[in-house]
Amino acid sequence: MKYRVYIERDEDGMFVVTCPALPGCVSQGRTREEARENIREAVSLYLESLREHGEPVPPGVEQEIVEVPAA
């Protein structure tokens, strides 16, 4: 499954990552790559917890790319 995440730098220079489809699923890292790996693990654990508790799992993101002519 794919979920959209947002990566922002905080005032201490850490990369903070949130997953809007999964409320409260937040992680961080010293680098963008570390933050991505950490949120990947957090999302996996979040989904595992939902399944264990019989909660519905939010659908993943479906994306399409649309091409338009250059101006």
Q: Give the per-residue pLDDT at 25.
A: 97
Strand 15-18 to strand 26-29: parallel, antiparallel, or no bridges (unpaired)? antiparallel
pLDDT of residue 4: 92
The full set of domain ranges for the chain reads: 6-52
User: Which residue in 13, 5, 71 sits closest to 39, CA to CA?
Assistant: 5
What would the pLDDT profile of 47-59 be if each residue is shown by its tens digit?
999 999 999 999 8
Predicted model pTM: 0.82
pLDDT at 64: 78
Q: Residue 15, exposed/middle/buried by CB under 10 A (0-12, 13-18, 19+)?
A: buried
Q: What is the pLDDT of residue 42?
A: 98
Residues of the chain with pLDDT under 70: none
